[in-house]
Structure 1
């Protein structure tokens, strides 16, 4: 059976834009009069994957699974505790602010709440122009031309550049956020719950917009969401996170048709089905998500898994290749190695 390391070697032969290797983020817990470190919140606990040029990798999981922390570490908005982040074969994990600056143009993020992420005191023109002023030597006329182009590209009018965020609906504000993220023509964009705050009909419009932009501009996405139906619409591959770890990662069709991990099966069974006559087996999870400050030994999912056995409490399962790019971290498949 192939290991995670073998997986990375295989995919290196293709165009790989991002590699994440054993990435961890521990937040210290302080206690006592001297405020000494008495423990750690293991928000991300050893995650490895890569992203190919031009694809969309969806990352899903419950709240508290470490999805957003993972995205912020990749962009160096949070410093990793351990592990590596490689962008186009450049190790950016510990680069200084000055050396990281050129990569900022290539890597951008669209946040969940566009009203909070957009400065309400700045006009749309100022919001989109700001990253150009900071990171490029474009002249004012050139910047204005690009602002008009971007606004029309995301489905707004060039005249909207003179307005302020509060004058737009939630969906329109998210389009402005996308235009701002694309200001310096990046290669890689992280969408962190980018449509979760929007109405369902608006979600579809924004997702279609992102797909069109990806095709037109050659973008690569890391799409973070708790909604598996949304991820299914836009992703090429899907990674499922649980308590800071990857439980499963595979091409989209494999995840949704033949999920292997009990956690993935439970998530998919919870999606409402429009066909009321279809009998779908429900997988019920017992208990709540354990605390990341005190995760279970062995498999982090074992305390809620209906198929857990003794080995699950003793040994942490590693991602193993089940064929056709499908990887799962579960002892149920150890005999198939």
Structure 2
């Protein structure tokens, strides 16, 4: 068994209460205007996030998966208020931050951090590692100089680097080491919630395992809550407690990791799962998974199909799918799906 395959125990999601919820998203939308003509008037909208609702429990990891262009990264940025929502609400730690001014939201910033996909692009190449990791503490006005130095030294060792690395610059490190620096930079202010936006997709598979295990260890040690965005379902499987499948700005399925991977309900989820390579390393024959090949490409979020947005690629689409948007309903306990196949009238 490889490091990435070690057992990661899920939270007890069935016994949660309102007090356990750290992040609550209600009917969140983010539309980007399309400008055209000489006067640059708005002639359309890109519906990057189109009415998403969910909650994240303290200490859990919620994975969000989907193809490129499904709106995953935009969702993460709107939750952090790096982008303003078009509609809907984001409640973080019992505070509605949806439309707060940048001045009023600043106290929340230290509790909400993000780790980006490309560590080299997100790190200032002119700053040393020590300066990069200390910067969030300075911006937030936290700690004295002496205490900041101590905090930086402690977090840099927690992510697996040496104190001597603080004097070096980002170009002197490998991709995996640079991502460790990004993680240290995000965690140095002791946040409660971290959005991980494809944090291992640019790394080699062996390095991915190391970084994922590091993130899980830090979560347990520091009591962190993650929103883990990825397109690789095998990565999401090994770090998430629950998984949400996103398609063209909407969630089409949301369930515990076990329920989703063992009993996927939505045709899109089944297609994604069937694309995961399976290597039989046991003596027993591997369970055969029917390969589902989707037809066509992801439609444009500027002109999504009517009704169910997945209908143009779905092998089971019928008349109702063209006119009615399926709601995300709880078909089984804590297992939500948005598909007319399960709500036929």
Alignment TM class, shorter chain as reference:
over 0.9
Aligned to 1:96: 101
Question: Is residue 280 of structure 2 the alignment partner of residue 271 of structure 1?
Answer: no
Q: Count the aligned residue pairs.
A: 327
Aligned counterparts, 1:295-314, within 5 A = 295-314=304-323
> Equivalent residues in 2 for 1:9-24 (5 A)?
12-24=17-29
- CA distance, structure 1, for counterparts of residue 125 and residue 185 of structure 2: 14
TM-score, structure 2 normalization: 0.93
Superposition deviation, residue 280 in structure 1? 2.0
Where does 1:199-218 land on structure 2 (aligned, <5 Å)? 199-218=204-223
Runs of 4+ aligned structure 1 residues displaced above 6 Å come to none
Aligned 1:213-252 pairs, distance under 5 A: 213-252=218-257
The superposition leaves residues 39-63 of structure 1 with CA deviations (integer Å, 9 ceiling, x where unpaired) of 1011111111000000000000000
Normalized against structure 1, the TM-score is what?
0.95
Instruction: Measure the CA separation in 2 of the matches of 1:137 and 1:66.
Output: 34
User: What is the SS of the residue equivalent to 2:62?
Assistant: strand
Gaps of 5+ in 2: 1-14
Cα shift at 1:122: 0.2
Distance 2:274 2:206 in 1: 23
The residue correspondences of 1:99-118 to structure 2 (distance < 5 A) are: 99-118=104-123
Within 2, Cα distance between the matches of 1:309 and 1:184?
51
Q: Summarize the Cα distance change of 1:92–1:75 in structure 2 as closer, same or farther, 3 Å threshold.
A: same
Higher mean alpha-carbon deviation, 11-20 vs 79-88, is at 11-20
Question: 1:263-293 CA deviation, whole Å, 9 max, x = no partner?
Answer: 0000000001102964321111111100100
Q: Following the alignment from structure 1 to structure 2, what is the Cα–Cα distance between the partners of residues 151 and 52?
A: 27
Which of residues 315, 319, 324 is equivalent to 1:315?
324
Distance 2:207 2:142 in 1: 35
3-state SS, counterpart of residue 84 of structure 1: strand
